[in-house]
Amino acid sequence: MLRYIAWRSAVALFLVWVVVTAVFLLLHLIPGDPAELLLSQGSIAADPAAVAALRERMGLNEPVWAQYLDHLRGVLTGDLGSSFRDGAPVIEQIAQRLPRTLELIVAAAVIATGIGVPLGTYAAMNANSVADGVISFFASAALSTPVFVVGTVVILIFAQQLQIMPAGGFIPFSEDPLGHLQLLLLPACTVALSLLAVITRMSRASVLEVLQRDYVRTARAKGLSRSRILRRHVVRNALIPVITILGLEMGTLIGGTVLVEFVFNWPGLSGYLVSAVDARDYPEVVGIVMTVSILFVFLNLLVDILNAALDPRISLVRR
Amino acid sequence: MTNDLNRRGFLVATGALAGGLAFIGPRGLRAQEGGTLRFALSAYPPSFDAWASGGTAAGTVKLLMHRGLLSYGADGLLRGELAESWEVDDAGAWVFKLRDATWHDGTPVTAEDIAWNVTEAQKPDSAAFLQGQLAMITSVETPDDKTVRMITTEPLGVLPGWFAHYNMPMIKKDEPRDTMIGAGPFRMGEQDRGVSISLTANPDYYKEGLPKLAGIEAIVYADENLRVAALEAGDVDLIEYVPWQSMAGIDGNSDLRLDAVDGPFMYLTFNASRAPFDNPLVRRAVAHAIKREDIVAAAFFDRGAALAHLPIAEKSEFFNPEFKDAWSYDPEKAQALLAEAGYPDGFACTMLSTAQYGMHQSTAEVCQAYLSMVGINVQLDLPEWSSRVQKGNEGSYDLAVMGTTANNNDPDGLSNILDGTLPNSFVRSHALQTPEISEAFARGRAAFDTEERKEIYRELERVAIDTVPIVGLAWRSQGYAMKNSVSGFTNMPGQLTFYSGITLEETMLG
């Protein structure tokens, strides 16, 4: 098991390096000069002399490979550089933004799992019934509705029409816990909706499959109660693929909550990435992408370990 | 398992319901009474550099923290700020007399502070927004603590306007350029980068009784629709950059008020380094080929006006009525001009705009449609904004759509987009030399008499109508929206709309 984890970690690190290198090179290939953009805010004609001076100060006149090596050196010493825009240390900004995105994703995952697993299990236990059909229909609808549509409709109903929820924004938990949770609720539910659909469908399929297993039939034959069979034998085994999917989906969401963060003005990592790309703020973009890729591979690793914990045969097979 | 509701279930359900109602209740996030205005900004300032251009939101925050020598009043006229009077002395130098004012740290504002600002911002590598203009000041003298004398190579009538710009506020000597120590009505409080900025009233502000608010909470709402939703939901009191599609809805909402002015404008620039747009006849043909009302309708939901001349507003004393329809829609004239230029069958070209901003893309699409009717087949190039800026600066286009405002309502504010002697930039036509226009701007700056200046700018516009350094397309409405309980905030007239933050010192709640 330990060897397996060590090997997976090494592969993960290599992947992170590949991603960071690719992003660094791609950023320098696409048009758009950070110095020029910074001095052209508000559609202003930037003075070429000022642009040249700023480029020099930003270190952009160095060859790309020299900038790359410099950046790698920084990464190895835990320094992700400073923003081109205002000199704010990138690592501090990521440390501030990342927990907000993780909070959003975890809240969405809790909502989605809390509702999706029971719903999927219920649908499987009542397969081909009207309830099953209704659940499947809504799951498909939720899956195919874009998050920005859901977000916009939710704001329209709860903030603009009913005026019972704020339209969006952010208040630190330490400042106002209730206000913070209020502001978290709508974006978390929006992210949760598509996740809920995936988990419901996955749970249903998985439970249906487990219900056909011999050990379930044996448990029934032994006279175990329905709820005990469900808890002990069905759901626990059916959860393995659900957790795998949940982990992958959460990994994708770390860099993929852009639209929800934008629509609800939730100042997380995704929105930060978009503004950094817009401004061609190279240190910020590379720092954020690196963080996201590390988290993504880490989540994958975690999913594997969790699966192994739920079903000890998994690590044995892979070892 | 039973579905009957037992006592414990009842208590849990009741508790959850009560908690839920409290949770979704509006308290806490509604706009606060008692003096703190919640202002929804469209962006977080990219930096707090006092002298650099950082866009509208940065300008507004600077207008809260800082003050310059002069400013504009809500009526659009120049007024004193740190300077209580200003005049030209017998030697042709500008003399500013300072009032008693203090920085946020309690130290007095002195002539030496002001002189330091000018000499620092005019340095060639300062990247100050007005560096080019300030470089015309050859020396700054401080005869006493309250007098600043600025000497220029030649008399400059437009110099006071530079010191009213929100990108030329005064900061305390030897402070870093992004200092939070200003002399403005509000002091910087907590900042959450990218999210919000808190400002509190400066009790030692030099204008008695101002500011009227106890504080301002500036919150960034980058999505224009969410800004409107936040205002309608009561989360904020005031929003900037009201999207045009939402203006009618706000007008129809009895709880809200829209304050919109026609200030910024859309126009076309040309790449004159190559055919066919090196030919003024072709540029004039383009000017006559486009029906501008369709741009106003498509891009701005009819919130704006056609612009068939240079962007000088009708309300301006420098407006020339004889040129009002100089570039009016006349496809036959456009075709005749193309034939005269040697393109009777038209030609193909590329038009640069951006897909990042709907108004830029819609404007380009309308222009494309009308130009095709006179034989000019336009291929649109719609990269995101960063690439569009770079391509514009490099001249990688034939025609380009652009939108901006002038520095102020004085025609000299247009030199930035019309003066071909300035370095190539995406805001003006590429490699298009207009010596007569450049010379007229220089004469206009040196003149003090209003009638004389009117004549100079009339001649300038006449030349521009013929040589077409740009093509005016549309005025666009620039709006702020607020709750009815907000008073004292004014959207400044015309090109000064982005200076409106200065009226927040007089704004009140309730």
Considering only residues A86 and B172, tell me which one the structure prediction assigns the higher pLDDT: B172
pLDDT at B13: 53
* Residue whose pair of structure tokens reads 């977000």 in the numeric block: A151
- According to DSSP, the β-strands at B471-483 and B238-239 are antiparallel
Which residues are CB-contacts of B277 (< 8 A; sequence separation ≥ 6)? B270, B271, B283, B286, B349, B398, B399
pLDDT in tens, B317-360: 899 999 999 999 999 999 999 999 999 999 999 999 998 888 99
pLDDT at B31: 42
Best A86, A171, A190, A225 residue to mutate vs chain B (most B CBs within 10 Å)? A86
Residue type, B276: P
Contact B227, A271 (CB under 8 A): no
Sign for the pseudo-dihedral over CA of A128, A134, A135, A138: positive
**Apex A294 CA angle, A290 and A299, nearest 5:** 150
Which residues are CB-contacts of B447 (< 8 A; sequence separation ≥ 6)? B157, B453, B456
Which residues are CB-contacts of B146 (< 8 A; sequence separation ≥ 6)? B97, B98, B110, B111
- On chain A, the residues whose CB falls within 8 A of the CB of B125 are 49-50, 53
Q: How confident is the model at residue B32 (pLDDT cuts 50, 70, 90)?
A: very low
Alpha helices in B26-122 (DSSP H): 55-65, 111-121
Find, among A31, A42, A49, the residue nearest to B422 by Cα.
A49
- Would you report the helix, strand and coil content of chain B in percent, each value rounded to 5? 35, 25, 45
Neighbours of B399 (CB within 10 A): 26
Contact B325, B308 (CB under 8 A): yes
* Residue whose pair of structure tokens reads 């003005």 in the numeric block: A265
Average pLDDT of span B149-160:
91
Which residues are CB-contacts of A147 (< 8 A; sequence separation ≥ 6)? A190, A191, A193, A194, A259, A260, A263
Give B155-159 contacts, CB < 8 A, sequence gap 24+.
Answer: B155/B88, B155/B92, B155/B446, B155/B448, B156/B94, B156/B445, B156/B446, B157/B444, B157/B445, B157/B446, B157/B447, B157/B448, B157/B453, B158/B410, B158/B412, B158/B444, B158/B445, B159/B94
Residue A269: closest CA among chain B residues belongs to which residue?
A: B194
pLDDT at B14: 47
Contact B207, B4 (CB under 8 A): no
pLDDT for B23 beyond 60 = no
Contact A155, A263 (CB under 8 A): yes
DSSP state letters, B216-263: EEEEE--SHHHHHHHHHHTS-SEESS--HHHHHHHHT-TTEEEEEEEE
When the pLDDT of each residue in chain B is averaged and rounded to a whole number, the result is: 91
Is the preceding omega at residue B276 within 30 degrees of 0, hence cis?
yes
Partner-chain residue, chosen from B28, B219, B417, that has the shortest CB–CB distance to A179: B28
pLDDT at A295: 83
Considering only residues B299 and B407, tell me which one the structure prediction assigns the higher pLDDT: B299
- On chain A, the residues whose CB falls within 8 A of the CB of B48 are 86
b/e sequence B289-311, b meaning 16+ C-beta within 10 Å: bbbbebbbbbbbeebbbbbbbbb
CB contact under 8 A, B46 and A38: yes
CA B27, chain centre distance (Å): 36
Neighbouring-strand partners of residue B215: B36, B200
- On chain A, the residues whose CB falls within 8 A of the CB of B29 are 166, 169, 171, 179, 182-183
Lookup: tokens for B47: 């930096």
Find, among B47, B176, B23, B138, the residue nearest to A186 by Cα.
B23
pLDDT in tens, B414-450: 998 999 888 888 999 999 998 999 999 999 998 989 8
Sign for the pseudo-dihedral over CA of B455, B461, B465, B469: positive
pLDDT for B387 beyond 70 = yes
pLDDT for B71 beyond 50 = yes
CB contact under 8 A, A169 and B383: no
- On chain B, the residues whose CB falls within 8 A of the CB of A270 are none
Contact B244, B303 (CB under 8 A): yes
Alpha helices in B85-145 (DSSP H): 111-121, 131-134
Lookup: tokens for B113: 């502070």
Instruction: Work out the percent of chain B whose per-residue pLDDT is above 90.
Output: 75
pLDDT for B10 beyond 70 = no
pLDDT for B505 beyond 60 = yes
Lookup: tokens for A232: 């002990």
B94 — contact with chain A (CB < 8 Å)? no
Q: How confident is the model at residue B409 (pLDDT cuts 50, 70, 90)?
A: confident
This prediction's pTM: 0.83
pLDDT for B182 beyond 90 = yes
Is the preceding omega at residue B46 within 30 degrees of 0, hence cis?
no
Tell me what ipTM this predicted complex has: 0.75
pLDDT in tens, A57-105: 778 888 888 888 888 888 888 788 888 888 889 999 999 999 999 999 9
The whole-angstrom separation of Cα B356 and Cα B398 is 20
pLDDT at A312: 66
Distance of residue B208 Cα from the nearest chain A Cα, in angstroms: 33
pLDDT in tens, B248-286: 999 999 999 999 999 899 999 999 999 999 999 999 999
A167 — contact with chain B (CB < 8 Å)? yes
pLDDT at A232: 82
B14 — contact with chain A (CB < 8 Å)? no
The whole-angstrom separation of Cα B197 and Cα A48 is 32
Contact A129, A301 (CB under 8 A): no
Find, among B339, B307, B260, B247, the residue nearest to B473 by Cα.
B307
- On chain A, the residues whose CB falls within 8 A of the CB of B483 are none
* Binned average pLDDT, 10 residues per bin, chain A of 319 residues: 75 83 83 78 69 79 86 82 86 92 94 94 91 91 88 91 90 91 94 92 92 89 86 85 85 81 89 84 86 81 74 57
The whole-angstrom separation of Cα A146 and Cα A258 is 12
Q: How confident is the model at residue B25 (pLDDT cuts 50, 70, 90)?
A: very low
The whole-angstrom separation of Cα B496 and Cα A297 is 52
pLDDT in tens, B73-108: 988 889 999 999 999 999 889 999 999 999 999 999
Find, among B192, B52, B436, B79, the residue nearest to A51 by Cα.
B52
Strands (E), B110-184: 137-144, 147-152
B1 — contact with chain A (CB < 8 Å)? yes
